[in-house]
Amino acid sequence: MNLVKKLSDRIFHVARDREIKNGRTTDVYFERTRKILEEKGLGNVKVVAEVTTSDLPNNWKWAVLGGIEEVAKLFEGRNVNLYSMPEGTIFYPKDSRNIRVPVMVIEGPYIEFCILETPMLGLICQATGVCTMAARIKKIAWNKLLIAFGIRRMHPALAPMLDRAAFIGGFDGVSSLIGAETIKEKPMGTMPHSLIIMFGSQKKAWKAFDEVIDPSVPRIALVDTYFDEKAETLMAVEALGGKLYGVRLDTPTSRRGDLGEIVREIRWELDLRGHKNVKIILSGGINDKNIKEYCDAGADGFGVGTALSNAPTVDFAMDIVEKEGKPVAKKGKLGGKKGVWRCMKCMRDLVLPHTEKNPVCPFCGGKMEELLKPLIVNGKIKSKLPSPKEIREYVLFQLGKIEI
C-alpha cells in the first residue's frame, strides 16, 4: 500500500532526485546482492570496479564522455573513491594495443555502491550518446550555427540533460527554456508554423514577431508554410528589410524534393538582390549523414532535433577487477586497477597497471598524461566541477585534433 501511495503521488512518471541517489532506480538483483553481503558479513570487502565499453555504435571511432557531473552528485556522500576522465573527454573504446579503456574507476566497499551501478550507467550511457552525436555534427558543420531542437522527441523531464549534452558536445545553443537555464545561456529559436497559421498571413506573422519580441532576438522568418520557399523568402525580405537576419526552411519530407537545390536557389536569389547577409537555416531531419551536403549547398545554420534526442546510447558496463588488492576480473575482462595514459601530441592512449607511471608515447615519443582524475575522494567531490561552457571549449579543442 505504501509503494502504491508513493507512486500515486507522482504527476509525471519520473524518479525524484532522492530516489535516484538512494538507489531506488536500481535493478532488483543489486538490492538483493547488497542484502546478502550485509547479512553474511561481507560489507567491508573492498573492491576496484571499472567502467568500460567494448565498442561504439554505428562504427564510431570515438565518443565524448557525458554525464560525469551527475555521477559526481550520485556518489557524493558514499564511502568511495572515484576516478574519471573529465566530462567532455573524447575517448576510444580500446587503446592502441586493443585493450579496453576504463573511463571511470571506483574503489571502496562494494556494498557502498552496488545499488548505484544501474543509475550510474544510465547517466553516462545516454548523455555520452547525445554528446557524441553533437560533436560529430559539430565536426562536420564546424563554423555553421547549430541549435539543439531535440527536446520534443523525449520525455520532458530529460530536457535539461539533452540540451546540456548537446551544448557541451559543441552546439551553439539550445531551444528549451530550462535547457538554456541549465547551461546559463539564452535560449535560441525562431518561430513555429502555428504563429503564421494563427495570423493567416506570413507577412503579418513576421511583422508581429518583429513588433513584439525583444530586438536582441534575431529575426529569422519561417518561409515554407504555404508557398514556395523562394517566394516566401523574398516576401520576408520585403516585409522586414534590413531587420531580417535569416530564413528557416522546415519543409516536410513529402514536399521537400532536393533540399540542397532549394538552398542553392534561395542563396542565389538573395545574393542577386543584394541580401548576402541573410542567413539560411535548415531544420527537420538533419543528421550527421546529410549535414555536409547542406553545408556544401550554402546553408548557414541548422536546427537539429531527433538526431540528438535519439542518439544511440553507448553501452558501458561496470566490472569488479580487483578485490582486497588482488585481481579478480571475470573472463573476458582484464584484472587489476588500471591507469589510462594519453599522448597529447598524437592523441593515442595506453592502458597500464596503475603502478606504472609516466610512460613515454611509444608512437611519437610525446609526453603522456593520466586521463583518470580524482572525482570523489572519501565521499567528497574533489574539486569544482567545470561549467558547461568550459566543457564545451574542452570538447572543441579536442575536436580540432582528431578526424571523424
End-to-end CA distance of the chain: 53
pLDDT digits (tens, 9 = 90+) for 21-48: 999 999 999 999 999 999 999 999 999 9
Q: What local confidence, expressed as pLDDT, does residue 1 receive?
A: 43
Which band of pLDDT confidence, cut at 50, 70 and 90, is reported for residue 8? Answer: low
- For residue 133, tell me if it sits in a domain: no
Residues 169/64, Cβ–Cβ less than 8 Å: yes
Q: Clarify whether residues 270 and 147 are in a common domain.
A: yes
Give, to the nearest 10 degrees, the angle between helix 229-240 and helix 202-212.
40
Is 178 in the same domain as 101?
no
φ, ψ for residue 293 (rounded to 5)? -55, -45
Same domain as 292, residue 146 = yes
Number of continuous H segments (helices) and E segments (strands) in the chain = 16, 18
220 and 267 inside one domain: yes
* pLDDT over 90 at 257, yes or no: no
pTM: 0.96
- Express as a percent the part of the chain with pLDDT over 70: 98
Relative to beta strand 46-52, strand 317-323 is antiparallel
Residue 341 reports pLDDT greater than 60: yes
Per-residue model confidence as pLDDT tens digits over 110-140: 999 999 999 999 999 999 999 999 999 999 9
Question: What is residue 273's predicted lDDT score, i.e. its pLDDT?
Answer: 97
Q: Which of 305, 344, 388, 314 is nearest to 137 (CA)?
A: 305
Q: For residues 22 and 84, state if they share a domain.
A: yes
Asked whether residue 178 falls in the same domain as residue 279, the answer is yes
Query: Is residue 169 within 8 Å of 388, Cβ to Cβ?
Result: no
Domain coverage including residue 55: 12-128+312-399
pLDDT for the residue 2: 54
Q: Which residue has the cell 585534433?
A: 401
Note whether 294 and 145 are same-domain residues. Answer: yes
User: Can you give the pLDDT at residue 252?
Assistant: 81
How distant, in Å, are the alpha carbons of 161, 179, 402 from that of 182? 8, 5, 29
Helix, strand or coil for residue 107? strand
Predicted confidence (pLDDT) per residue in 62-81, tens digit: 999 999 999 999 999 999 99
Would you place residue 253 in the very low, low, confident or very high pLDDT band (cuts 50, 70, 90)? confident
- 337 and 290 together in one domain: no
In this structure, the chain runs to a length of: 404
Residues linked to residue 158 through DSSP beta bridges, in sequence order: none
Q: Is the pLDDT of residue 7 over 80?
A: no
Q: What is the pLDDT of residues 214-248, one digit of tens each?
A: 999 999 999 999 999 999 999 999 999 999 999 99
Q: Can you say how many angstroms the Cα of residue 99 is from the centroid of all Cα atoms in its chain? A: 25
Whether residues 207 and 275 share a domain: the answer is: yes
With CA atoms as reference, report the closest residue to 130 among 302, 308, 288, 395: 308
Is 1 a member of any domain?
no
Q: Provide the domain count of the chain.
A: 2
Same domain, yes or no: 94 and 70? yes
Q: Other CB atoms closer than 10 Å to residue 119's CB: what's the count? A: 21
The mean predicted confidence, pLDDT, of the chain is 96
Quote the pLDDT of residue 6: 60
Do 200 and 296 lie in one domain? The reply is: yes
Band of residue 383 on the pLDDT scale cut at 50, 70, 90: confident
| Amino acid symbol at 253 | T
251 pLDDT tier (thresholds 50, 70, 90): confident
- Given pLDDT bands bounded at 50, 70 and 90, which one contains residue 254? confident
234 and 277 share one domain = yes
For residues 97-120, average pLDDT: 98
What's the mean pLDDT in 198-205? 98
Assess if residue 39 is contained within a domain.
Answer: yes
What would the pLDDT profile of 288-330 be if each residue is shown by its tens digit? Answer: 999 999 999 999 999 999 999 999 999 999 999 999 999 999 9
How far is 86 from 204, CA to CA, in rounded Å?
49
